[in-house]
Each structure stands twice: as C-alpha cells, then as structure tokens.
Structure 1
Amino acid sequence: MTIISSKRVGDTGRRVVFLHGLFGRGKNFTRIAKALEPEFSSLLVDLPNHGDSEWTETFDYIDLADSVAAHIAEVTEADQQPVHLVGHSMGGKIAMVLALRRPELIDRLVVVDIGPNAGGSLGIFDHLLSSLAGLDLDEVESRTDADAALQEPIPQDAIRGFLLQNLRPTADGYAWQPNLGLLHSSLEAIGDFPDMGGARFDHPVLWVAGERSDYVSREDLPQMRTLFPRATLLTVKGSGHWVHSEKPEAFISALRTFLGRS
C-alpha cells in the first residue's frame, strides 16, 4: 500500500476525513476542520502523488481508494466507529470508490462538485500542468520568481496561488511536490470512473455542487442514485468548482447540518 501522510485537527467528537482534489493538499481543509470543532475532529489527508504522501507509478482509483481506506483504518482504529468522509473533485471520486468498496468504514459521505461520471473534461488541467512543467526551476530562487514566470500562462491570481502552494524549497533549489509527470499523463484516467460491479452505498450521502461549475450535471443524477440511493443534491449559489474555499460559510453550515443529523 502507498504510504500516506495526514494531519489531525481536534481531538473530540466524531471523526471527519477530508480528501482534496487535483493539486490540493490536506491542509486546504484546515479552516473547515477548525470550524467543525469541538463537535467533530478531522483527519486531513494528503492523497498519493500530492503533499507529503508517497508517489505511485500508475493512477488507478481503486488502488488509491484502497490505500486511503487502509490509512483511515489504521489511524482511526482506536475510535472503534466509522468515520464521515468528505471528498472534493478527484478526492470526491476516491471517496465514492472507497465508500463503495469499504462501506463498513464510512458513516456519512459528502461528495463535493464531482460525479461518478466517466470521460469528464479536464482541459484546463492539461493547460495548468503544461504550464507548471514548462517552468524552469533552475531559474527560480523564490516563489515570487515562480509567480512572475507563471503570470502569462496562468493570469488568474487565485489559481496561480493555489498551484504555487505545491512548490517547495529543497537542498538543490525548488521542486514540485506533486507527481506532475504522472498526473499529466493520467488526465484521461483522472477524468474517468471505474466500473464498481453493482456495488451500492446505502448510507446518507450529501452531493454538493457549485452553481457556476459544470462538473456536476443533473444528467449524472440517475447514476449517482444507482450507486448512492440515499444521495441528496445541494447546489451552493454563487460558487464555482472550489466550493469549500469560495463559499466556506455555506459549506460549513451544510456539513454541520448533514453530519449532525441523528
């Protein structure tokens, strides 16, 4: 199994596990996790090929879900109860696969702005990965240098800042923490969703969509309900794809309500 790194936030209440999306890190959910205290404690996971977790040689949702499941089981063994699982985008697909394969580990599932759809468009990520790979790290002496070099191919300040969190100083200069080569070559697999062989997850599921995002469509609802018959769709007004960072208060309120139900 792939070695996975995670960070705990809080030490009381039911455990909530957060899985980030492409280019993300577990700490992206720190604000959300702190807002859930003390009713909930959180585990912020760095998914394989991201953050401080181990790189893999291939990208496969089932393998990734199994590795995350093993990490959750190990870290939460003393809790002796299933966790709540929250996954955004790519992390949402991993969360769905995990819940379908290991339902005994999961109480409630929250899937954020992604569906169990195959062949999803990831054109913007092709551009972003190409831009990052094209950055000459030998010429980078600070994140300010990298930011300036990326302004032309990635003019959006928020997106550029989000990506630059993955640039880390090393003894030999700066390097990207994510496995850019694998992620770039695996975009088709990242946009896909595995055949789950008729598996179902019969626990409550909150499916969160950003109003201004095109990653969730009502056309996905029949497949979502086949896999997750107790799924409820919530659309967050004014939000794009990164619901938890664009509309944090609405997201926190939705989590509190959904996870706190008896």
Structure 2
Amino acid sequence: MKLNFKKSGQGDVLIILHGLFGSADNWFSIARELEKHFTLYLVDQRNHGDSPHSDEWNYELMANDIKELMDNEGISKAHLMGHSMGGKTVMKFATLFPEMIDQLIVADIAPRYYPVHHGRILEGLNAIPLDTIQSRKEADDVLAAFIKIPGIRQFLLKSLGRDDAGKFIWKINLSVITEQIEIVGEAITSDKPIEIRTLFMGGANSDYILDSDKEEIATLFPNSSIIFIKDAGHWLHAEQPKAVIETVMAFLG
C-alpha cells in the first residue's frame, strides 16, 4: 500500500509513525526541530490520516507498507521511531527487515500483548451521527458523554474530516478499527533477538511500559535501553516535546 507521508529536512533519514487514532500531524511540533538534523518522513499508517483504507489490517502488513515506502523513496536504511501502535509497527519491521534499520526508537509501548482497552473511545466515535451533525462542536458534545477529558477529545476529533461535498467523514477507517481492535494489542515476537541499537522511551506517568516488561524487552532487544520522560503520560511527545526532542537527539547522535 502506498502511504501518505510528509517529507522535510535534510540529513540521515528518520521515519516516524503515529499511534492508534493518530496521524502524521501529531508529530509536527517535534518535526520542526528534528528536521534541522534529519530528513524526516512523517507517515500516515494504513486506515489513518490521508493513507488508504483497507479491510486488511495487522502489524505484518503495516511493516510491509513501510518497506514499500522506503523502496519507493530509494531508502536502503533509516532510523525508525514509532509511538504506541506505531512502536509495534517498527518493532515488527525490525523482526522482518533488520538490515534496513540504522537505529530504532519505540515510544511508550512494550513488545508484550495488551488487552483491548479502547472500548469507550470506540463507543463514543461510533455514536457521532456524521450524517446529521453540522459542526465539530456538535461532534464534541456527543463525544463528551463518553470521554470527559477535553484534550483526548480534541486529539480524536483531528480524524474528523469532510468530503468533497462538505459532509463529515472519518479519516480513520473506524469500522475496521472497531471490528479488528484486538490486533492493536498483539505481541511482537521473534525466533531470534533483534540486535539493532534500540531506545524504549516511556512516559514516567504512563503504565504502558512496566518494570515487568524489562526482561522481555532485554531478551528481544538485547542492545536496548529504557528512558522515562519526567511528567509525561502516554502521549509523551505532546506533553513534553522538548524532553522528547532532547532524548531523540542524544540517542541518535
């Protein structure tokens, strides 16, 4: 699948992948600094942003989408960074195409299985009547009955777009995500360790990377380290962008 992406900057290639319900736009504030040092590719994964929708959706396919992008762009090797679902995509890519990765950054996710925990979000998104709402405010009012935190609603509603006729549409493939949400939590495994130099970058206030994950991370990625960003939760790049930029720059050198 040919993915939508935004390219900027110059230098070594750094490909960045967003998480579930997100898009390349989530990384714009980070990109303004990183593009001074790298050729950045901010990518919309399949079923997200402006990339195509498909009924087929799993980490092997998403990893192969990235390989297709790299092949089409003439990129033989790159740094890869992914957040949450994007972190699992880049880990899967590392199990399939390790020779195409220079260094790897995984943001606030571990390789283990995660149980489904997005039910309330999906209820809220599916409750928004796209055929009848006239404004984003109306969509937000519906979503507020399911999600109390305004910042989370604002993030989710970034995926609300309009078609050529001006009708509201979801840029995410909401029906497929709803039906196949279990795939997001699937574990990333490998028959052999991945020797790529890897940074796991967690939010200190997040529960996505736990002490109990450290052994599994070290086994699968023996050349890895773990750093926690102070005063950051799961969306660490939005909550502490300066610290994330400094950490990425220090790791990639």
Could you say whether these structures have the same fold, taking a TM-score greater than 0.5 normalized by the shorter chain as the test? yes
CA contact (8 A) 1:20 1:90 kept: yes
* Structure 2 residue identity aligned to 1:105: M
Instruction: From 155, 167, 176, give the equivalent of 1:173.
Output: 167
Instruction: From 230, 249, 252, give the equivalent of 2:245.
Output: 252
Match of 2:217 in 1: 224
Match of 1:3 in 2: 2
Instruction: From 101, 116, 131, give the equivalent of 1:138.
Output: 131
Q: CA deviation at 1:172?
A: 5.6
Match of 1:26 in 2: 24
User: Where do 1:165-204 residues align within 5 Å?
Assistant: 165-170=158-163, 171=165, 173-196=167-190, 198-204=191-197
Instruction: From 88, 91, 95, give the equivalent of 1:93.
Output: 88
Structure 1: distance between partners of 2:170 and 2:31: 26
CA contact (8 A) 1:18 1:43 kept: yes
> Which string of whole-angstrom CA distances, capped at 9 and with x for unpartnered residues, describes residues 31-51 of structure 1?
111111322120000000001
CA contact (8 A) 1:73 1:105 kept: no
Match of 2:13 in 1: 15
Q: CA deviation at 1:103?
A: 1.1
Structure 2, unpaired ranges of 5+: none
Moved over 4 A (4+): none
Percentage of pairs with the same residue: 35
* Structure 2 residue identity aligned to 1:13: G
Structure 2: distance between partners of 1:27 and 1:72: 20
Instruction: From 207, 212, 217, give the equivalent of 2:205.
Output: 212
Q: TM-score, normalised by structure 2?
A: 0.95
Give the SS at the match of 1:139: coil
Number of residues paired by the alignment?
A: 252
Structure 1: distance between partners of 2:200 and 2:233: 15
CA contact (8 A) 1:244 1:251 kept: yes
> Which string of whole-angstrom CA distances, capped at 9 and with x for unpartnered residues, describes residues 40-70 of structure 1?
1200000000011111213221121111122
Give the SS at the match of 2:168: strand
Instruction: From 52, 67, 70, give the equivalent of 2:50.
Output: 52
Give the SS at the match of 1:44: strand
